[in-house]
Chain A
Amino acid sequence: MAHSGRRDSPELPDFSLLKRLARDQLIYLLEQQHEVDKLYKVEYKPIISTSDQVCFLIRPRIQTVKWIYVANADKAAGKFRRYKIIFTPQKFYACEAVLEEQGLFGDVTTDEWAFYLLPLDDDIISLELPEFFRDNFLAGDQRWVRTVGSALHLLHSIYGPFSKIYGIGRCAKMAYESWKEQVEEGDTKARQAEIGNAFLIDRDVDYITPLCSQVVYEGLVDDIFRIKCGCVEFGHDVTSSDKSVKVMLNSQDKVFSEIRNEHFSNVFSFLSQKARNLQTAYDKRRGMDIKQMKTFVSEELKGLKQEHRLLSLHIGACESIMKKKTKQDFQELLKTEHSLLEGFEIRECISFIEEHINRQVSMIESLRLLCLLSITENGLLPKDFRALKAQYLQSYGVDHLLTFANLRQLGLLVEQQPGETLTVMESKVGKLVNDKTAGKLTDAFSSLAKKSHFRALSRKLNLVPKSDEEYDLRVPRDMAYIFSGAYIPLSCKLIEQVLERDSWTGLEEVTKLLNGHEFAFTDLRAKSDAQRIILVMFLGGCTFSEISALRFLGRERGYKFIVVTTAITNSSRLIEALLGNKV
């Protein structure tokens, strides 16, 4: 069912090297440097141990460092205990300052494990830094900029050199500069590049895509079951037994790899067909003689059993998905989202959202819808904002005042200022684009909170296909299929356009609407045959829907995309990161 790409599609590089490098480094650290023989998971519970040396492998978070000290100080009172802390991917001065400040009993040594990149699949690499989003975009803390630059540098030195780097976004630009510096400091060995180009994009360039409900299979599974590090846990409602099972979801799962990018409406029929085929293949054994049976058992049976197991899992998952979504009036929810994207029947959408809040359906989902409304409509009308906010607080509690403050700061949920209706904003922008002092526009827009210009962007980039023609989801004609034909993801469209033009030329109006910070860099010395293998780096998170869209784009245009992301994200994770009750 996976659509075959063009015959000239390039091959992906092998990323298992990254895993091996990281593992070797860790083993060295643990064995040689620190003589560790047992590792425990940090669970914020007191450590009970008889050894006089305890080693921690942690992310550089102040909270964790504090806990290490606090939770163990009492236990170690009077007892001489040595602590070894291995920070990954790197140490932060702030963590060390905390260690100093606390004046630990005994001895503390610190070390770094430079583990940046975890390949989740053949074409997905994650930095596993979900905190990147909140740290960078909400708190404005640039602590991870160098980390990202280093990750890029690592990829560049092993699989590069890159001949072209494009990007858009404040953080993308800083990461690019950090990468450039690291390249200049190091020595670039001449090698045959396996990745030719790179594209860096900030999450806040496109907030809309991650806020939409996902309907491609992998996206749906993530939305409902939460995929962690390429792994998902299916409960008894999927396995139809009292056990739950943990499954790796990647291209090794032959069934999954065929349905992962498909629109959900196609998946069930595909799986049923496959189940029928499987039954046929299995029934073959009826007419066999002993010799044939032996061959069958030794060669085919194992594969069939494996396929059978996977099939029943995914069929079970589909059934569970369908049950849940029917219960939640998924159809109506999608209709509301599509209307918002199109800009159609907005008052009905607002009514729907209001009722959703009134009925206390889901705290996260209500916020998601509010944000989608705000971004597509360039802010809520003051009366709507006040009413919906009041009702939200009434339904879910007044501590969400902080959540609202956070969302306002990011520009995700804002009130329209008087005189700032869509047309006024657009004309302001339009005028300034032609103005010689267009640079001033960038300054005015360069605050962390951005104003959304979705409708204008949508028109310029044709993000919302015309709804008069029927959209055949079985034979998708563009990336909009990942949202049932209603919307082409902005992030992916930008990538498509820039690659097509090989620059940002002709996209000036678009970049102004996106607050600028776009860049393109060509290294003529690094010309290679790998021009069609493109690394796309999402700073702040990437959804499975976007990955599916890029795979589609790749098949269409003969590219191969490698998605590198600070973490996999979806609407729930994005909103949860912004809830007001966290540190």
Chain B
Amino acid sequence: MMKNKPDEEDYWNSSKFKAFTFDDEDDEFSRLKESKQAVNSIRSLVEEEDDEDEVEKVSWSGEPVGSISWSVRETAASNQKTQREHAFPKINASSPSVSRSHSGYSLSSLFKGDDWSPEETIHRMQQGKVVSLERFRSLQDKLLLLDFSVRAHDGNIITAVILFTLTSIIRVLFRELESRQTALRHFIHYLTEIRDHRLLLELLSKRRDFLKSCLNLPFSPEESAHVQDHYTLLERQIIIEATDRLAEHAGKVEIFQKFPRRASILNMPLITTLYYCCFYHYNEPEGTYSSPLNIRHTFRISEKQYFVTVLAARAKLKAWSDLDALFTSRNWLGFTKKKSPLSFHRVVDILQKNSAPTQVLQEYVGLVDDADLRIGLAQKHKCHDIVINTYRDLKDRQLLLGYRGKVERGSAEERKINDLLDSPVRKRRNYDHHHHYQHVT
């Protein structure tokens, strides 16, 4: 079959047809605009070889075979069609004689020559038998191979066929792949795995939109904002890191001595950076790069997130007065009130995880709105006063009595309970006609 090798050499070395190689900067294909053009140039050569008497007609569907350009037009027009794999091209698989595969690499050392058709070849590959792929020179044969491989569902074979066809008609293949999404996925995955950045970038720049749907590349405007923020943050981190490292070494700043830094702040996420600044730079004026307030405003951090982070950092340092100030706001009459963008029971949770003392916990437990939740937390953290006061407000003697057993004997809390129990005010709930006053000695 391969009778005219010397002619092929001439053809190959002519300027008309240059194979693609990975090193080829000056590839003629890059100047071809349409796949049709490329195929037409091949087609004309096919027609030249008309004297070949071994023409194999593969008409697997029984329908009349069409021409190459017809099939290519079909392919080019089918960009909108997604499931190409269900419509095999009707192609006249004439004798392969056109192009020679480039010898940059070849699987040929593993394969022997034989006489199978594309469909049979794929079938043999499925059975793990040796085949010769380099026999299939023409575009239509390669595409047939590709289509049969997709039909077989075997990713290993799909990738192999792509690799094989890769060397000689990379860009034409790519256009063909566009309408063969399954095959394209395999190609892209292969490129990702061998990390051929050059090729990947070429594909990216040429067909960005289409690839976006396959690769789902980010960098929408909204995402660009995130990336921009990241760079701004990095710039700051560099400054903060440099300054703090000096300060730490100089040994004059107390907090760095007490709590030595365990790692560099570079490349840490935003919230980690905020925590760091709340820890080491809390009271700085807003103008500095390391001021937590500055970070909050620059990166548009929500009030809730800000509070959570400050809380964690200041609680770690046991800086309770800072927390007090954080939550306190003054209204126009000068009265102070505690407010929080996150629920107070969360505040209590964070404080407790940082081993806050009971008095501090108590203060915040008392601010929890929901009575049941408040009692539950108070009991959990032994905030006796709150429990006692709540029971007092509920006017429930039984509960008070029950709770007395839980406080320390002789403690102030016990005395308080006793006082309340002794109180002469009649309680509606447990009104007992037979109740007598008990005198505490």
Which A residues have a C-beta under 8 Å from some C-beta of B? 61-63, 66, 90, 92-94, 96-98, 100-101, 135, 139-146, 174, 177-178, 181, 185, 329, 354-355, 358-360, 386, 390-391, 393-398, 401-402, 404-406, 408-409, 443, 446-447, 583
Q: Please name 14 pairs of A and B residues whose Cβ atoms are closer than 8 Å in the assembled complex, sorted by A.
A: A135-B155, A140-B189, A145-B153, A146-B154, A178-B153, A185-B127, A358-B304, A358-B308, A390-B226, A393-B226, A402-B218, A409-B216, A443-B82, A583-B195
Which B residues have a C-beta under 8 Å from some C-beta of A? 82-83, 104-107, 109-110, 126-127, 152-160, 163, 182, 185-186, 188-190, 192-195, 216-219, 222-223, 226-227, 229-230, 267-272, 299, 301-302, 304-305, 308-309, 312, 342, 346, 349-350
A359 neighbours in B (Cβ, 8 Å): 308, 312, 350
B350 neighbours in A (Cβ, 8 Å): 359
Contact B269 A397 (CB under 8 A): yes
Docked Cα-Cα span, A63 to B193, in Å, equals: 7
Docked Cα-Cα span, A62 to B196, in Å, equals: 12
Docked Cα-Cα span, A78 to B148, in Å, equals: 44
Docked Cα-Cα span, A538 to B105, in Å, equals: 38
By DSSP majority rule, is chain B's interface helix, strand, loop, or mixed?
helix
Contact A135 B189 (CB under 8 A): yes
By DSSP majority rule, is chain A's interface helix, strand, loop, or mixed?
helix
Contact B342 A92 (CB under 8 A): no
- Select A62's contact among B153, B193, B222, beta carbons within 8 Å: B193
Contact A92 B159 (CB under 8 A): yes
Contact A143 B159 (CB under 8 A): yes
Most chain A CB neighbours (cut-off 10 Å) among B158, B195, B226: B226
* Contact A146/B223 with A358-B304, A409-B216 known, Cβ cut-off 8 Å: no
B110 neighbours in A (Cβ, 8 Å): 96
A96 neighbours in B (Cβ, 8 Å): 107, 110
Contacts A62-B190, A93-B107 supplied; 16 other A-B pairs, CB < 8 Å: A66-B194, A101-B105, A140-B182, A140-B189, A142-B158, A358-B309, A359-B312, A391-B302, A394-B269, A395-B271, A398-B230, A401-B218, A401-B219, A406-B216, A443-B82, A443-B83
Contact B159 A94 (CB under 8 A): yes
A146 neighbours in B (Cβ, 8 Å): 126, 153-154, 156
Docked Cα-Cα span, A583 to B195, in Å, equals: 8
A396 neighbours in B (Cβ, 8 Å): 269
Q: How far is the CB of A278 from chain B (nearest CB, A)?
A: 35
- Select B155's contact among A97, A145, A329, A408, beta carbons within 8 Å: A145
Docked Cα-Cα span, A177 to B151, in Å, equals: 10
Q: A-B pairs with the 9 shortest C-beta distances?
A: A143-B155, A93-B160, A142-B155, A140-B185, A174-B153, A398-B230, A394-B270, A139-B189, A397-B269
A404 neighbours in B (Cβ, 8 Å): 218
Docked Cα-Cα span, A402 to B218, in Å, equals: 7
B192 neighbours in A (Cβ, 8 Å): 139, 583
Docked Cα-Cα span, A142 to B160, in Å, equals: 12
Q: How far is the CB of A498 from chain B (nearest CB, A)?
A: 23
* Contact A94/B160 with A101-B105, A144-B155, A398-B230 known, Cβ cut-off 8 Å: yes
B270 neighbours in A (Cβ, 8 Å): 393-395
Q: How far is the CB of B170 from chain A (nearest CB, A)?
A: 15
Most chain A CB neighbours (cut-off 10 Å) among B107, B127, B155: B155
- Select B185's contact among A141, A354, A386, beta carbons within 8 Å: A141
A141 neighbours in B (Cβ, 8 Å): 155, 159, 185-186, 189
B126 neighbours in A (Cβ, 8 Å): 146, 181
B190 neighbours in A (Cβ, 8 Å): 62, 94
Docked Cα-Cα span, A144 to B299, in Å, equals: 45
Contact A100 B107 (CB under 8 A): yes
Closest to A408 in B: B216
Contact B271 A139 (CB under 8 A): no
Closest to A410 in B: B216
Docked Cα-Cα span, A61 to B192, in Å, equals: 12
Contact B155 A583 (CB under 8 A): no
B189 neighbours in A (Cβ, 8 Å): 135, 139-141
Q: How far is the CB of B73 from chain A (nearest CB, A)?
A: 24
Contact B217 A405 (CB under 8 A): yes
Docked Cα-Cα span, A62 to B194, in Å, equals: 7
Contact A355 B155 (CB under 8 A): no
Docked Cα-Cα span, A61 to B189, in Å, equals: 12
Contact B222 A401 (CB under 8 A): no
Contact B193 A583 (CB under 8 A): yes
Contact A100 B312 (CB under 8 A): no
- Select B222's contact among A63, A386, A443, beta carbons within 8 Å: A386
Contact B182 A394 (CB under 8 A): no
- Select B105's contact among A92, A97, A391, A405, beta carbons within 8 Å: A97
Closest to B187 in A: A141
Docked Cα-Cα span, A583 to B189, in Å, equals: 9
A144 neighbours in B (Cβ, 8 Å): 155
Docked Cα-Cα span, A546 to B159, in Å, equals: 34
Contact B105 A142 (CB under 8 A): no
Contact A97 B269 (CB under 8 A): no
Q: How far is the CB of B216 from chain A (nearest CB, A)?
A: 5
Contact A401 B308 (CB under 8 A): no
Most chain B CB neighbours (cut-off 10 Å) among A142, A390, A393, A401: A142
Contact A97 B163 (CB under 8 A): yes
B83 neighbours in A (Cβ, 8 Å): 443, 446
B106 neighbours in A (Cβ, 8 Å): 100
Contact A97 B107 (CB under 8 A): yes
Closest to B302 in A: A391
Q: How far is the CB of B354 from chain A (nearest CB, A)?
A: 12
Most chain A CB neighbours (cut-off 10 Å) among B106, B160, B194, B308: B194
B194 neighbours in A (Cβ, 8 Å): 62, 66, 94, 98
Docked Cα-Cα span, A583 to B196, in Å, equals: 12
Docked Cα-Cα span, A142 to B270, in Å, equals: 39
Contact B163 A398 (CB under 8 A): no
Contact A358 B159 (CB under 8 A): no
Closest to B157 in A: A93
Docked Cα-Cα span, A94 to B187, in Å, equals: 10
Contact A394 B299 (CB under 8 A): yes
Closest to B346 in A: A355
Docked Cα-Cα span, A62 to B190, in Å, equals: 9
A446 neighbours in B (Cβ, 8 Å): 83
Q: How far is the CB of A347 from chain B (nearest CB, A)?
A: 14
Closest to A62 in B: B193
Closest to A61 in B: B193
Most chain A CB neighbours (cut-off 10 Å) among B163, B216, B309, B312: B216
Q: How far is the CB of B167 from chain A (nearest CB, A)?
A: 10
Docked Cα-Cα span, A279 to B271, in Å, equals: 53
A181 neighbours in B (Cβ, 8 Å): 126
Q: How far is the CB of B213 from chain A (nearest CB, A)?
A: 9
B105 neighbours in A (Cβ, 8 Å): 97, 100-101
Q: How far is the CB of B331 from chain A (nearest CB, A)?
A: 27
